[in-house]
Structure 1
Amino acid sequence: MTRRGATRNGLTRRGVPAVLLDVLLVLVALADTWANVDLGQQPAVSCALLGSFALLLRRRLPLTTFLLTVPTAMVSDAVFATLAALYTLASLSRHRVLLACCALTYAIIDFLPWPWSTLRANELSGTHNVVHLIYAVATAAAPVFLGQLVQARRELSLRLTEITEAREHERLLTAQGVLARERAQLAREMHDVVSHQVSLIAVQAGALQVSSQDPEAKRGAAAIRRLSVQTLDELRHMVSVLRASGSRPTELTPQPSLADLQRLVDGSGMEAELKTDLPEGLSPPVQRAVYRTVQEALTNVRKHAPGATATVRLHHVNGRVEVTVTNTAPTRPPLPLPGAHHGLLGLRQRAELLGGTVTAGPTPDGGYELHLDLPREGAG
């Protein structure tokens, strides 16, 4: 786990690489050593070098780093490494007593001359020494207060992030509750209104099938009744799915495949022919796209070209699947049926998601043609 206060992915809050910042601190500490330590004094130089390079450990071992930099401040005037280590310890530690002891240790070292054996009692009195003591305490307290301030700011930022995430989660739960209520209301509407009207259509079609003497009317009524019953079954399942919102997921109706195409064409309620040479093993999304395209095309023929015949051709050429649905010119004027004109738009969007295209337009003989072109496996 990442230590509290450690940078994430080796970056500081401002995006500066942590290693680069540590190296920069080491360089500044070395410059402080070069400026304030007599290079002829080997013990002082050794302590200063040890304290400078110890800053590389300040994030993982802040207390150890501070202790390694203390001799530098004790035997020389190079105090940058000690102050940097004290700041790091204050920004990562919650132990106030430990921080007070470390700050007091640095203040005493900064106030007393080295070596301590040369200290005389009369040297601790006087206004100058009082000012020096105040300065030493203030110098020790400054990095501690700054480190604690940075730690408080970091923790406040974390708390704000947690509050924001909690609010977002609450908003999501509220939206899901609203959606569940809307789904329940939609289920009631579908059950009470749409299902009732489709049931009436099925009943009326059944009555027409029994009472009519015209064979063509009987076939049309039988097709209407069969499609109405299928629609009722789908509506009931959709209602059960909508009512299952918030509970265990309900298994959806098995999606259609190429094996269902012949039944779709036979039950289209019109004269239609299916010609296919598609291989087996096409991906399910491609099979669904082919089925929905043929279904939409045959529906449009029934609505807009009464009396026309249709031909459905499915081919596999050069790794691509091509579907062409062509109908002849209508023999009767179309009935004014309601429609939102979203069918072709939905087919085009489905085809684009799979990396294909859908084109449609009239034919020279007064009919209409819809063409689907898809890659065999769909878009990756």
Structure 2
Amino acid sequence: MDAALVLVALADAWVHVDPGQRAAMSCALLAALALTVRRRLPLTTFVLTLPTALVSDAVVAPTVALYTLASLSRRRVLPACCALAYAITDFLPWPWSSMETDDLARTSGLVHLGYTLAAAAAPVFLGRLVQARRELSLRLAEISEAREHERLLTAQSVLATERAQLAREMHDVVSHQVSLIAVQAGALQVGGPDAETRQAAAAIRRLSVQTLDELRHMVGVLRASGSRPTELTPQPSLADLQRLVDGSGLDAKLDPDLPADLPPTVQRAVYRTVQEALTNARKHAPGASAAIRIQRTHDTVRTTVTNTAPTRPALPLPSAHHGLAGLRQRAALLGGTLSAGPTEDGGYRLSLDLPLDHEG
């Protein structure tokens, strides 16, 4: 595309510039070659193409440069000022001493000025439209990713609940009954009337103990529900926080001095709290940065996740509003508290306080 635009600009210079006019031809060639860096240096490219509009009728290079500047610049005033400068430059004759001052010339000059203003405004409007379309595409991609992430979290939550229910049933019912079988078999092994009965009771007891061991292992696997429905991985801990922060898609900083030797349940609660806070910051505060701090006192662990104000408006996303409620329930089960709310600078802060001596 860039090579094609350079060729079109050179063709425009060849048609509208007399080869005998060295100054005009030099400006036209410089403007055409400047288009090769229009994406990296849009303002510099426009400045280099502006003299072409003054000394010649070649307008392809400055028009393309103005469009590129408008499509890449985040500021609205700069493209408008550049468009006005282009219109004035294209309107003024060269040399300036050839400007006519009679009534007819002023009337035709006003018409020419209106035409140049329209010609300068067109690439700016087109560039802004392309920029808006590009940003909308990025927002749609972010929404799709957020929805997919939310669906994954929902599936993980449902799976974890089902596994926890199954683990409780196996622990409370099946394991209890197998334990009774093992106890009765042990009693029969000791007080059996004959050797054959005692041998059968010993076999029953041995198989019951093996079954209990397998059941305990299965209950442990079911309780340690992993991050994906098809995986059986251990529950996360503080050692996994840095990987979570790096993969959050935010400019997030984690306090490097993490407390050591915390109970596994506390570590899991801290991890899930940070995970939910980063997810909410990504959904509701686009462009914000986050800071995660974990402090340990004598008998309490405080986790604080603070994000700054968003740098661009957030689009409304579907949400079940269960994230904070689930965190509060988890904190209550561990004897702790969870608080969340906006900060004075427009950001958001989530704090979790958990005791270390809670028994649950």
Query: TM-score, normalised on structure 1?
Result: 0.56
Instruction: Report Cα offsets for 1:62-93 as digits up to 9, x if no partner.
Output: 00000100111111111100000000000011
Shift of 1:241: 4.1
**Could you tell me which residue of structure 2 aligns to residue 74 of structure 1?**
54
Aligned residue in 1 for 2:142? 162
Quick check: 159-168 or 217-226, which moved more?
217-226
The residue type equivalent to 1:64 in the other structure is T
Contact preservation (8 Å) 2:91, 2:113 = yes
| Structure 2 CA distance for partners of 1:51 and 1:155, relative to 1, 3 Å | same
Change (3 A) 1:41 1:120: same
Q: Aligned partners of 2:168 and 2:193: how far apart in 1? A: 39
Q: Unaligned 5+ residue runs, structure 1?
A: 1-20, 252-380
Cα deviation, 1:38-79, whole Å, max 9, x if unaligned, reads 112111111111000100110110000001001111111111
**C-alpha separation in 1, matches of 2:160 and 2:179:** 27
The alpha-carbon distance between structure 1 residues 124 and 55, as it changes in their structure 2 partners (threshold 3 A), is: farther
How far apart, CA to CA, are the structure 1 residues paired with 2:104 and 2:31?
28
**Correspondence 1:228 to 2:208:** yes
From 109, 113, 132, the counterpart of 1:152: 132
- Deviation (angstroms), 1:215: 4.3
Instruction: Please give the alpha-carbon distance, in whole angstroms, between the structure 2 residues aligned to 1:118 and 1:126.
Output: 13
1:22 maps to 2
**1:120/1:129 CA distance change after superposition, 3 Å:** closer
1:171–1:91 Cα change, 3 Å: same
Conserved? CA contact 1:241–1:250, under 8 Å: no
Aligned to 2:110: 130
Tell me, yes or no, if structure 1 residue 44 matches structure 2 residue 24: yes
Note if contact 1:87-1:146 (Cα within 8 Å) is conserved in structure 2: yes
| Contact 2:226–2:235, Cα closer than 8 Å, also in 1 | no
Show structure 2 runs of 5+ residues with no match: 228-232, 237-360
- CA 1:219/1:250 → structure 2, altered by over 3 Å: closer, same or farther? farther
C-alpha distance in structure 2 between counterparts of 1:198 and 1:62, whole Å:
77
Choose 55-64 or 27-36, whichever is displaced more.
27-36
Change (3 A) 1:151 1:124: farther
- Match of residue 197 from structure 1: 177
Letter in 1 for 2:15: A
Cα deviations by residue, 1:302-337 (Å, 9 ceiling, x for unpaired): xxxxxxxxxxxxxxxxxxxxxxxxxxxxxxxxxxxx
Structure 2 distance, partners of 1:123, 1:156, is 49
Give the aligned partner of residue 9 of structure 1.
Answer: none
Residue 185 of structure 1 and its aligned partner are, at CA, apart by 0.6
Offset, 1:173: 1.9
CA positional deviation for 1:29:
0.7
The match for 1:243 is 223
Q: Which amino acid aligns with 1:41?
A: Q
CA distance in 2, matches of 1:28, 1:194: 80
Q: Find the aligned partners of 1:28 and 1:165 in 2 and give their Cα distance.
A: 40
Q: SS of the residue aligned with 2:102? A: helix
Aligned to 2:69: 89
C-alpha distance 35-125 of structure 1, shift in aligned 2 (>3 A): closer
Match of residue 290 from structure 2: none
Q: Aligned AA for 1:154?
A: R
Query: After the TM superposition, which residues 326-345 of structure 1 pair with which residues of structure 2 at under 5 Å, given as runs?
Result: none
Equivalent residue of 1:121, what SS?
Answer: coil
Alpha-carbon separation, structure 1, partners of 2:14 and 2:110: 29
Paired residues in the alignment total: 231
**Larger Cα Rg: Structure 1 or Structure 2?**
1
The CA distance in 2 between the partners of 1:30 and 1:194, in whole Å, is 84
Aligned AA (1:94)? R
- Paired with 2:235 and 2:6, the residues of 1 have a C-alpha distance of 63
* Deviation of the 1:163 alpha carbon: 1.9
Q: Alignment partner for residue 102 of structure 1, among 82, 87, 108?
A: 82
1:330 maps to none
Identity %: 75
Letter in 2 for 1:202: A
Aligned alpha-carbon RMSD (Å): 2.5
Corresponding residue of 2:158: 178
